[in-house]
Amino acid sequence: MKIYISGLYSGTNPQPGVGIARSLRLAYPDALLVGVEYSNRCSGIHWQDFDEIWLQRPWDELNLDAHAREIGRVLDAGAFYISAIDLEIMWLASVFPEGHPNLLTPPVEGLYQVSKPAIPAHEKLPVKIPPFVTTEISDWDLHAFCRKHDWKVWLKGPYYDAARTRNWTEFENMRNAFSSAWSTEKLFLQTHVTGYEESISFSAYKGELLHAVSMRKRDLTEMNKTWAGDVSVVPTEFYEPLCEVVKDLNWTGGAELEMVRDPDGQLWMIECNPRYPAWIHGATIAGHNMSAILVERASDVPAQKSPAVTDEFTRVVLEIPVHPEMPLPPLPEPFAGVVGHSLKHPSGLLGFANRLHGMNLNGQNGNGNGNGNGYGKLNGKELTIVPSSFMDDISDFDFEQIQTPSFLYLEKTASEHFNRAAKIAGNLSTEDVAVINAYSMKTNPDARLVQQAYEAGFLAEAISPLEVSKALEVGFKPEQIILNGPGKWWHKEHLPNEPIHAVFADSIADLQRVVAALESGELKAKIAGMRLRMPNIPSRFGIPIDTPELFGELIEAIKTLPRESGFGIHFHMASSSVGVGQWWHLFESMLKWCSSIEALAGRPIEILDIGGGWFPDDWHEGADEQFKKAVQSVGEYLPNVKQIISEPGKALAQPSMALAMRILEIQDFPNATDVVVDGSIAELPMYFFYPHRILHQNGETGSWKSLGRGKAYFLGRLCMEHDVVASHVELPETAKPGDLLVFCDAGAYDRSMSYVFGRG
């Protein structure tokens, strides 16, 4: 018996070839095992169980046709072939569309069915699939998906590769890396499931499930790969539907279903690999020789039984002799002054992925997108729809008169947002509790926005006496002002003589200072309180309550607050960074803390200020019901609260300004277009944190178009490497130097934190 086994990489993220060889050696001591590799740097080629090594050129250099003919010849001659390389498996499926009795890999149709991440095959299994989206949707929608799922998301490659992306910059970087590595835009963003990882591996032949085994990861490498595990039989409620699935898929070969079991016991399927897992010899140790079962069925040659040694396995690192005929490759030439080695997977798999794309093997998953550059035809899906009020406002400008780059104040949009917020607050107010907004001045202190807030009946929220004075200038009365933050004594000469609405201390020291100022009459406030720092959430603001000692200190400090002022608590966690789900969780928890504080300090909480930090869309869309419930919970936990204050900043300011700029130059490259613009990151400092919706005006017709994804990079005017204001954007064919671009969503910190730079 002769068996070819590919996938011998044996680094820290190993392939299963060596494990398969060890297992088959036990079952067939006399078989001729041939290791197939595409690089002499895969250490598995030196493994003792291989009788021969069939070494090929790396994938990106290989003559695929000749290789396919060779494999066909080998199979016809009676040898078996077990592939343990995902991409090779896909390629083999295309080379042998009708299969081959000796080719122990799955057929094309079965592979389509398990391609990421919907895995239609899962429907019969007792598993769920974590929510996911394709990255072909607009950046705006991708960002919303991440916020919704608290940034607990994985970016996944088309075959394998997955990375946690914890913020927009990480997401953009990983997307660029994956897209260029795999030459496709068709990646997935999937939510993270917290739980313990387990897998089921099975063997099948022509749709018949031969055996399955279950493994729980008991120890992991830094890359979350199995280091130790325990092995058990697959329970009937999984095995029976799995039989059906295998039949539907007409599966041949090995496979692995990677899953996470959440704390409620629910299984979530994360991945379905069309090959054995790298830990497969661990199953053999526990008496389940998966690859032997497969070969036995395909060959009718009885395998020697491998008795179970134990049901747990672990890994060690072994030094083994290098095969004398395959000495280590020479040290690499120092390149550009750098000397380095790397255990990076060396066989040109990424290059192969490129070639596979060119061959359009990706079937339904790659519909019409076999052109290799991955940017296929726009199907409209990835276009962001810009709200109509933006267009209304933008069409009012006479751009002939505007020197770019220039911020555009979108007046109708601003007024719509402020009035809507006021209306929502009104609707949420009850007989017992008034709900009111306070505009966060620092988010964008533009007098026009402050004026909008004033007219909409807001309070003004200031973090410095200078902001207080700005609010007073616009028309706010002292009793409509809230003073917050760590810098409230900077330029304190601007504090008004009349009482302000509320002051919140940011630390115990600040609270002592507030007490002194209230007692001396330096500051007058109807409500005095403090900001809470929630346990377990990193923040530099507010008073921490992590330990009983700190909590005790806070209670004592509250007791010193003068009785003439009412008491209030402030809480501010930006849902735009902690995530919407997490924010609501923290909100509940905050109410419980407040209730304890009220009881222990003996001071009724009259005002609850829940801060800002909302991304505009999260605050507007469908949140009303949730806010209504929140008002109810406040009543339940804190019956003395008379007023709930929310402090929107960017939720209102962000959409209310845009940045106009013009194209200076367009330079085409084969796979990219560099577009130099007269705007820069000095005007868009938030570029790194969230996507901006971009409009282009046709220079001839004057019509506006919202830009989808594409191959253009918008490079700022600054002579700075990192001045790139947008990447992977579509550039309309009509675009010319001099054309206008409008970057929307620039009215919050883009505006207020923009700086003067490169203007002479």
Least distance to ligand PLP, CB of residue 586, Å: 15
**Cβ proximity to ligand PLP, 399 vs 489, nearer residue:** 489
5 phi and psi angles, rounded to 5 deg: -130, 125
- Closer Cβ to ligand PLP, 107 or 648, answer by number: 648
Nearest-approach distance from CB 508 to ligand PLP, in angstroms: 18
**d(C-alpha 343, C-alpha 330), whole Å:** 15
Cβ neighbours for 189, distance < 8 A, ≥ 6 positions apart? 132, 133, 134, 135, 142, 145, 146, 153, 154, 155, 156, 165, 171
Let me know how long the chain is. 760
State in angstroms the smallest separation of the CB of 749 from ligand PLP. Answer: 7
Q: How many CA atoms lie within 13 A of 427 on its CB side?
A: 13
Query: How many other β-carbons are positioned within 10 Å of the β-carbon of residue 632?
Result: 13
SS3 sequence of 623-664: CHHHHHHHHHHHHHHCCCCCEEEECCCHHHHHHHEEEEEEEE
Nearer to ligand PLP, 417 or 572 (CB): 572
Please identify, using beta-carbon distances, which residue of 349 and 607 lies nearer to ligand PLP.
607
Query: For residue 380, how many other CB atoms are within 10 A of its CB?
Result: 7
Cα–Cα distances in Å, from 755 out to 444, 684, 685, 689, 695? 14, 9, 9, 17, 23
Give the CA distances from residue 500 to residues 457, 483, 651, 735, in Å, rounded to whole numbers and listed in that order: 16, 8, 25, 53
Least Å distance, CB 566 to ligand PLP, is 19
Q: Which residue is nearest to ligand PLP (CB)?
A: 649
Q: Please, what is the minimum distance in Å from the beta carbon of residue 12 to ligand PLP?
A: 41
Residue 602: is it exposed, middle or buried by C-beta count within 10 angstroms (0-12/13-18/19+)? exposed
Beta sheet of 32-37, edge-to-edge order:
52-55, 32-37, 2-6, 80-82
Q: Is residue 497 a contact partner of residue 470, using CB atoms and an 8 Å limit?
A: no
Compute the least distance from the CB of residue 613 to ligand PLP, in Å.
4
CB of 173 to ligand PLP, least distance (A): 24
For residue 442, what is the DSSP state?
A: G
**Residue 276 or 614 having the CB closest to ligand PLP:** 614
Residue number with CB closer to ligand PLP (267 or 748) = 748
CB of 439 to ligand PLP, least distance (A): 9
Closest separation between CB of residue 733 and ligand PLP, Å?
38
Based on CB atoms, which residue is closest to ligand PLP, 88 or 647? 647
Q: Which CB, 441 or 518, lies closer to ligand PLP?
A: 441
Minimum distance of ligand PLP from residue 568's CB (angstroms): 13
CB of 171 or CB of 619, closer to ligand PLP: 619
What is the separation of C-alpha 122 from the centre of its chain, rounded to a whole number of angstroms?
A: 24
- Report in angstroms how near the CB of residue 748 gets to ligand PLP at its nearest: 6
Find the DSSP H helices in 397-533. 411-428, 447-455, 465-474, 508-520
CB closer to ligand PLP, 487 vs 535: 487
Nearer to ligand PLP, 270 or 684 (CB): 684
Shortest approach of ligand PLP to residue 652 CB, angstroms?
8
- Name the residue nearer to ligand PLP (CB basis): 293 or 610: 610
Strand-pair partners of 436: 645
From residue 29, alpha-carbon distances to 20, 249, 262 in Å are 13, 32, 42
User: Beta strands of 264-393 (E only): which ranges?
Assistant: 267-273, 312-314
If the CB atoms of residues 469 and 539 are measured against ligand PLP, the closer one turns out to be: 539
Give the burial string for 685-722 (b: 16+ CB within 10 Å, else e): bbbeebbbbbbbbeeeeeebbbbbbbbbbbbbbeeeee
Nearest distance in Å: CB 318, ligand PLP: 54
Q: How far is CA 247 from the centre of its chain?
A: 35
Minimum distance from residue 590 beta carbon to ligand PLP (Å): 14
Q: d(Cα 656, Cα 438) in Å, to the nearest integer?
A: 17
Ramachandran region, residue 491 (left: φ > 0; alpha: ψ -120 to 50; beta: rest): left
Give the residue with the Cβ less far from ligand PLP, 278 or 651.
Answer: 651
Name the residue with tokens 């019409």: 368
Q: What are phi and psi of 156, to 5 degrees?
A: -120, 140
Three-class secondary structure of residue 253 per DSSP: strand
Structure tokens given for 82 = 């077990």
In terms of CB distance, is 119 or 610 closer to ligand PLP? 610
- At 520, is the secondary structure helix, strand, or coil? helix
Minimum Å gap between C-beta 654 and ligand PLP is 8
Locate 284 and state its tokens.
């053999």
Shortest approach of ligand PLP to residue 690 CB, angstroms?
Answer: 11
b (16+ CB within 10 A) / e for 96-129: beebbebbbbbbbebbbbbbbbebebbeebebeb
Provide the binding-site residues for ligand PLP, judged by CB under 6 A.
Answer: 440, 442-443, 461, 463, 484-485, 572, 574, 611-614, 647-651, 748
Q: How far is the CB of 529 from ligand PLP (least distance, A)?
A: 12
Residues 567 and 558 sit within 8 Å (Cβ to Cβ): yes
Question: How far apart are the C-alpha atoms of 554 and 676, rounded to whole Å?
Answer: 54
Contacts of residue 154, Cβ cutoff 8 Å, sequence gap at least 6: 162, 163, 164, 165, 189, 190, 191, 192
Min separation Cβ 369 and ligand PLP, Å: 39
Choice between 44 and 616, CB closer to ligand PLP:
616
Residue closer to ligand PLP, measured from CB, 18 or 744: 744
Is residue 171 a contact partner of residue 177, using CB atoms and an 8 Å limit?
no
CB nearer to ligand PLP: pick between 251 and 614 = 614
